[in-house]
Structure 1
Amino acid sequence: MGNYPTGVTVITTVDESGTPLGLTVNSFASVSLDPLMILWSIDHKVSSHDVFKESGKFAVHVLAEDQGELCALFASKGIDRFANCEWKLSQQGLPIIEGALGVMECQTFKSVEAGDHTILIGEVTDIVSRKKEPLLYHNRKFGKIPAEFYE
């Protein structure tokens, strides 16, 4: 699966006490245009699995090419991720990270158990998009689209 190039996202939510949680995810896809819905999956072994499954809401941050360090931060363990980035709470009470190419705030529509992962389907309730280039993941490396691709 590492040979399939994908975009990179950071998914965020809050636990019942309001503490922000987030993780780097590349298992993200569009589901429906009307209503606008997306999906992503989370491994059952991830410590925040139950919080994401039960919170009822989450935000998807599509990372920009200059956010490789943010990608690594939210993929790391044993660190306060939110103490090391710029973020704020949205009107929907979701942690929103500054500088992303796009952010989709979602209400959980359905969760589906599939093997060792849970697929979370969200209905997009708010969306913001910026003119930036995306961060990509391929062959266990993160990077941008090479300039010669556009020529």
Structure 2
Amino acid sequence: GFCVGGGVGLVGNADCIVASDDAYFGVPEVNQGALGAATHMARLVPPHMLRTLYFTARTIKAVDLVQFGSVLETVPREELMDAALRVATDIASKDTRVIRAAKEALNGIDPVDVNKSYRFEQGFTFELNLAGVADELRDEFAGTEKSKK
């Protein structure tokens, strides 16, 4: 049902996404004093939706991502593997030399270098950790007081 945080990082790097119709996507790290996967979430939603989801730690339904074109289709969970295999079979039926060239071409024209962008984003998480903000918020979430000792 949930694809959050690191899961969004994996999905944001995918070439094609098929999701279960009960799936939710989100980046809730802001609640724990960290940042993460905005680079990848930006591949799934328009800019203002990204900002809303990121700042509020809300999730978005997979069925809503279909309208943005980031999710190809949603299916009942029990049909997910079959749906993914249909897409994979379609791609695999193409000449591999062409598919590899297409993949390289698409990566080359991508306006955002995901590795550099994610590294930039994680620099802010590092700063929040150094300032103790992340410990404070994680302790509040977990009901511990490690940062106060």
Decide: shared fold, TM above 0.5.
no
Task: Give the TM-score taking structure 1 as reference length.
Answer: 0.24
Normalized per residue, the structure richer in helix is 2
Task: Give the TM-score taking structure 2 as reference length.
Answer: 0.24
Normalized per residue, the structure richer in strand is 1
- Bigger CA radius of gyration: 2
